[in-house]
Structure 1
Amino acid sequence: MNRLTARWADTATGGTVFSAAGVWPLLAFLADGASGAARAELADAVGLPADQAAAAARELLAAMGAMPGLRSALGLWTRRELALREEWRAGLPADTHGVLTDDLPAGQRALDTWAAERTGGLIERMPVALDADVVMVLASALTLRTEWPRPFDELMLSPDAGPWQGRRLAGLHRTGVRLDRAGVASGPHGYVTELKVPGDNGIDVHLLLGEQRMTPGQVLGTGLATLARRIPVVPSGQLPYGDVGPGLRIGQQPCATPRPPELSVTTVAYDMGARHDLLDQPGLFGLTTAMDTGDGHFPGISTAPLAVGKAEQSAVAQFGALGFRAGAVTAVAPAPGGARPDLRCTTTVVTARFDRPFGFLAVHRESRLVLTAGWVTEPTPYR
Structure 2
Amino acid sequence: MRRASTAVRAETVRAVNRLTSRWAGTLGTEGGVLSAAGVWPLLAFLADGAEGPAREELEDALGIRADRAAEAARGLLGALGAMRGSAAAIGLWTRPGLELRERWVKGLPEATLGRFTGDAAADRAALDAWAGERTGGLIPTMPVSVDERTRLVLAAAQSVRTRWLQPFAHDALTPRSGPWAGRELDGLWRSTSLLDRVGVAGTDSGPLTVLKVLGDTGVDVHLLLGEEEMEPGAVLRAGIDVLSGAARAVPGDLLPLGEPGPGVTVRNARSYGRAPELTVTTSPFSLTAEHDLLRSAELFGLGSATDDRHGHFPGISDAPLAISEARQSALARFDAKGFEAASVSVMGAVAGGAALPPPYRVRRVDVRFDRPFGFLTVHRTSRLVLTAGWVAEPVDHVFEEWDDTEEFEEDAA
Normalised TM-score (structure 1) = 0.97
**Cα drift, residue 194 of structure 1:** 0.3
1:164, CA displacement in angstroms?
Answer: 1.1
Change (3 A) 1:196 1:291: same
Q: Give the alignment partner of residue 311 of structure 1, picking from 309, 320, 326.
A: 326
- Output the aligned Cα RMSD: 1.0
Match of residue 323 from structure 1 = 338
Q: How does 1:192-271 map to 2 (within 5 A)?
A: 192-255=208-271, 257-271=272-286
Query: Which letter does structure 2 place at the counterpart of 1:208?
Result: L
Match of 2:186 in 1: 170
Q: Which residue of 2 aligns with 1:69?
A: 85
Q: Deviations over 1:180-239 (max 9, x none)?
A: 000101000100000000001100000000011111111111110111111111001001
Structure 2, unaligned runs of 5 or more:
1-15, 399-413
Shift of 1:95: 4.2
- What amino acid is aligned across from residue 61 of structure 1 in structure 2? L
In the alignment, the residues of structure 2 paired with residue 168 and residue 100 of structure 1 have an alpha-carbon distance, to the nearest angstrom, of 51
Counterpart AA for 2:24: A
Q: Does 1:342 align with 2:344?
A: no
CA distance in 2, matches of 1:94, 1:8: 28
Matched, 1:19 2:1: no
1:115-154 pair list within 5 angstroms: 115-154=131-170
Aligned equivalent of 1:49: 65
2:304 is equivalent to residue 289 of structure 1: yes
Alpha-carbon offset, residue 241 of structure 1: 0.6
Q: Secondary structure at the match of 2:386?
A: strand
Q: CA deviation at 1:172?
A: 0.1
Counterpart-to-counterpart distance in 1, 2:394 and 2:302: 33
| Cα distance in 1 for residues equivalent to 2:160 and 2:227 | 29
Post-superposition offset of 1:166 = 2.1
- CA deviations 1:290-326 (Å, max 9, x no partner) are 0111111111111111100000000000000000000
- Where does residue 272 of structure 1 map in the other structure? 287
Structure 2 letter corresponding to 1:86: E
| Aligned-partner SS, 2:67 | helix
Match of 2:25 among 2, 10, 19: 10
Letter in 2 for 1:264: T
1:346-361 alignment, distance < 5 Å: 346-361=361-376
1:241, 1:250 within 8 Å by CA — same for their partners in 2?
yes
Q: Percent identity?
A: 54
Q: Is the 2:90–2:110 contact (alpha carbons within 8 Å) kept by the matching residues of 1?
A: no
Shift of 1:5: 0.2
Query: Whole-Å Cα distance in 1 between the matches of residues 48 and 243 of structure 2?
Result: 29
Whether the 8 Å CA contact 1:271–1:379 is kept in 2: the answer is: no
Aligned to 1:83: 99
Aligned to 1:366: 381
Higher strand share: 1
Aligned length: 380
- Structure 1 stretches of 5 or more lacking a match? none
* Counterpart residue number, 2:347: 332
Q: Is the 8 A contact 2:92 2:111 kept in 1?
A: no
Residues 20 and 371 in structure 1, CA contact (< 8 A), matched pair in contact too: yes
- Matched residue SS, 1:359: strand
Deviation at 1:254, TM superposition (A): 2.0
TM-score scaled by structure 2? 0.90
1:94 aligns with 2:107: no
Q: What is the CA–CA distance in structure 1 between the aligned matches of 2:166 and 2:390, rounded to whole Å?
A: 24
Give the letter for the 1:170 counterpart.
Answer: D
8 A Cα contact 2:54 2:312, kept in partner? yes
Larger Rg: 2
Counterpart contact for 2:90–2:111, Cα < 8 Å = no
